[in-house]
Structures are given as C-alpha cells and as structure tokens.
C-alpha cells in the first residue's frame, strides 16, 4: 500500500468516525429527550455505537487492501 | 378523557420526531460505508458556513445589532507529515553512518594524539 493510499484511508477513517459518533450522539439526544426522560445513557450508548461502527469500518478498510469488488455475469446460452 | 387524548397526542408527536430522526439518518446513509460518510461530511462543510452566515445576517437585520468584523485568523501552513518524514530519514541516515563515522573520528583522534606525543 503506497503512502498516499494509506493517508487517504486514514482521512476516510477519521471522517467516518466523526460522522458516526456525531450521528450516534444526535440520535441519543433525540431519544433521551423524547422517551427516556433526559437521562444520559442514550447519549453514551449512541456515541459508543457510532464509535464501534467507525472502528469496524476502519478495520475492514485496512485489513483488506486488495479486496476487489466483482459481480456475477450470467453465461449467455448459445 | 382529555388527559388520555393529550397523552396519546404527546406520544404520537414524540414518536414522529424520533422516527423522523431515524429516517433522516437512514436516508442520508450516515451509518453506512465510510465513503458515504466522507461525502456527507464534505457536503456539510460546504453547506453549513454559508447557512450560518445567512442566519447571522438575518438576525442582524431583524435586531439591528452590528456584529464587529473580526480579523481573519492567521493561516499556519506547517506540513507535519513532511517534517516528520524528513526527521525520520535524517535520524535513520545518521544511525546508518554512525559506525563508519565513529571509526573515522577515532582514527583521526588517534593520529592527532600520536602526532602530539612525538
């Protein structure tokens, strides 16, 4: 993996982490205010879920650098 | 009867707000792959500053307040990656030539001492 590709992967991971943690936090705020009487645990739960999803995405991205995405093509009957 | 209807209304309003938030997250694919998240962050970076500017301009117009113009922050261009890489290369080069340089300097020192003691 070249250095520029590695840098791009890290940038993608950080952006993904920011978005997912923010989304989890936001959903936690919504559910805390609507259903859970302004408790703190939905915020922590949502942020933690976002962080875990971002970590999983990053891990998959770094551990499968040569993954090719293919598709099935039906054989044409002669 | 009225209290029951009111509590049902409250539940429906809360449910619709929470459901709307979940649908928005699903529609924008914020919890999907990292490519979509990066695109969403980039789009937010392009949309939010003009929206904030428009909102502050509208508030100033409505209230008559004048927000003072702050000077632009200084742009610091310090390429951390380049200086880190250059530092690593310098350190490794110094370590690789250290044995030969040590031999050379000790030889020169020995020659100097020999010349002084003659």
Domain that holds residue A41: 3-62
Percent of chain B residues topping a pLDDT of 70 = 97
Q: Could you tell me the maximum CA-CA distance found in chain B, to the nearest angstrom?
A: 117
**Beta carbons of B30 and A53 less than 8 Å apart:** no
Q: What is the pLDDT of residues B63-99, one digit of tens each?
A: 877 767 677 777 777 777 777 878 888 899 999 999 9
Task: Judge whether A74 lies within some domain.
Answer: no
A77 φ, ψ (degrees, to nearest 5)? -80, 135
Q: What is the pLDDT of residues A3-60, one digit of tens each?
A: 778 888 888 888 899 999 999 999 999 999 999 999 999 999 999 999 999 999 999 8
- pLDDT value at residue A68: 57
Q: Does A20 touch chain B (CB under 8 A)?
A: yes
Q: What is the pLDDT of residues B42-69, one digit of tens each?
A: 888 888 888 888 888 888 888 877 767 6
- pLDDT value at residue A22: 93
Instruction: Supply A21's token pair.
Output: 């943690």
Predicted confidence band at B23 (pLDDT cuts at 50, 70, 90)? very high
Full DSSP string of A15-71: HHHHHHHHHHHHHHHHHHHHTSTT-SHHHHHHHHHHHHHHHHHHHHHHH-TT-----
Task: Judge whether A52 lies within some domain.
Answer: yes
Task: Judge whether A68 lies within some domain.
Answer: no
Integer angstrom CA distances of residue B76 from A11, B71, B72, B80:
20, 15, 12, 11
Predicted confidence band at B29 (pLDDT cuts at 50, 70, 90)? confident
The number of domains in chain A is: 1
Q: Which DSSP category does A7 fall into?
A: H
Q: Does B30 touch chain A (CB under 8 A)?
A: yes
Cβ-contact A59, A12 below 8 angstroms: no
How far is B13 from B29, CA to CA, in rounded Å? 24
Task: Judge whether A32 lies within some domain.
Answer: yes
Q: Does B82 touch chain A (CB under 8 A)?
A: no
- pLDDT value at residue A65: 62
Task: Judge whether A76 lies within some domain.
Answer: no
Cβ-contact A31, B14 below 8 angstroms: no
- Report the predicted TM-score, pTM, of the whole model to 2 decimal places: 0.63
- pLDDT value at residue A67: 63
Task: Judge whether A46 lies within some domain.
Answer: yes
Q: Does A14 touch chain B (CB under 8 A)?
A: no
Alpha helices in chain B (DSSP H): 2-27, 34-63, 80-117
Task: Judge whether A70 lies within some domain.
Answer: no
Which of A23, A38, A49 to substitute to test the interface with B, most B CBs within 10 Å?
A: A23
In the block, tokens 């962050």 appear at B41
């Amino acid at each position: 993996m070249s250095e520029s590709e590695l840098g791009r992967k890290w940038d993608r991971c950080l952006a993904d982490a920011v978005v997912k943690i923010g989304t989890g936090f936001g959903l936690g705020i919504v559910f805390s205010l609507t259903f859970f009487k302004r408790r703190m645990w939905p915020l922590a739960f949502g942020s933690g879920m976002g962080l875990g999803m971002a970590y999983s995405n990053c891990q998959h991205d770094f551990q499968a650098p040569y993954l090719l995405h293919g598709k099935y093509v039906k054989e044409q009957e002669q | 009867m009225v209290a029951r209807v009111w509590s049902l209304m409250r539940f429906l309003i809360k449910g619709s707000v929470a459901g709307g938030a979940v649908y928005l997250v699903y529609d924008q694919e914020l919890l999907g792959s990292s490519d979509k998240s990066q695109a969403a962050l980039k789009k937010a970076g392009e949309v939010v500053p003009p929206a904030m500017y428009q909102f502050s301009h509208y508030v100033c117009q409505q209230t008559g307040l004048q927000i003072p113009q702050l000077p632009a922050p200084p742009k610091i261009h310090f390429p951390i990656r380049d200086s880190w890489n250059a530092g690593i290369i310098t350190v490794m080069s110094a370590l690789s030539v250290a044995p030969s340089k040590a031999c050379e300097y000790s030889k020169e020192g020995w020659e100097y001492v020999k010349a002084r003691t003659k």
